Amino acid sequence: MKTNSSNYTYYYTNNRPRYHHAYLISPLLEMLATFQKTGQTKLRVLDLGCGNGSLSHVIAEHGCEVVGVDNSAPGIAISSQSFPECQFIQADIYELPDTDMLQSFDVVLAVEVIEHLLYPKELAKNAKKCLKPGGILIISTPYHGYLKNLALAVTGKLDKHFTVLWDNGHIKFFSVETLTKLLTKEGYTDIQFKFAGRFPYFWKSMLCSSKISEKPEKL
């Protein structure tokens, strides 16, 4: 699928953690720990939209084998230099390279990525191609729900929250219902949510895990 998605990419200048890592890393590591089977070798994890590699590095420190993918040349350069324990590949999420990636990962991550995509279904489709049978997709994205959206409207903060003045900013806004529908339509099952940041129903982000079939798909 040709999407012309490469017209703008983040220009990373350092390897410091992104601001959302402060509230996402703990529940994310908890999720990964639940998928680690007793006696299993390291979880093989694909970090889609890995940015500067700082999250890939944390995951690797907790016993996973991590491959990071991002379209940003500066991001991949910083990642490769800073975190040699991980492998990093410059590639577009829409057009992932086939070599050594198809059906080869236990977990695919997309942390605060899907909200930036014009074609979010393609992330779910391409992640499925990279997962082993029975593999897990974990997506995190800003949380949106009735009470939170109502509070934004009442307090006059809608323009700030849904700003159009942020280059390469958020263009998709998911709720539990809409993300569930997207994943279900793409054939994922056992869909579960965790929430992070702030307090109930005003959460900053939600983390969603979902599973593909135990039977390998024909590619």
pLDDT single digits (tens) 121-163: 999 999 999 999 999 999 999 999 999 999 999 999 988 888 8
**What's this model's pTM, rounded to 2 decimal places?**
0.91
- Is residue 56 situated within a structural domain? yes
Please classify residue 36 by burial: count the beta carbons closer than 10 Å to its beta carbon, then call 0-12 exposed, 13-18 middle and 19+ buried.
Answer: middle
Within 8 A by CB and 6+ apart from 27, the residues are 194, 195, 196, 207
Give pLDDT, residue 9.
Answer: 62
Give pLDDT, residue 61.
Answer: 96
- Is residue 1 situated within a structural domain? no
- Is residue 219 situated within a structural domain? no
Report residue 168 as tokens: 């390469």
CA distance 7 to 28: 30
Range(s) of the domain holding residue 131 = 11-33+41-211
Count of domains observed in the chain: 1
Q: The sheet that has 87-90: what strands, in order across it?
A: 87-90, 65-70, 44-48, 105-111, 131-142, 205-211, 189-196
Give pLDDT, residue 99.
Answer: 75
- Is residue 5 situated within a structural domain? no
28 pLDDT more than 80: yes
pLDDT single digits (tens) 155-207: 999 888 888 888 878 899 999 999 999 999 999 999 999 999 999 999 999 99
- Is residue 19 situated within a structural domain? yes
- Is residue 140 situated within a structural domain? yes
- Is residue 187 situated within a structural domain? yes
> Alpha-carbon torsion 195, 71, 95, 58, what sign?
negative
| Distance from chain centroid for Cα 50 | 8
- Is residue 6 situated within a structural domain? no
The 3-state DSSP class for residue 153 equals helix
CATH number assigned to the domain comprising residue 150: 3.40.50.150
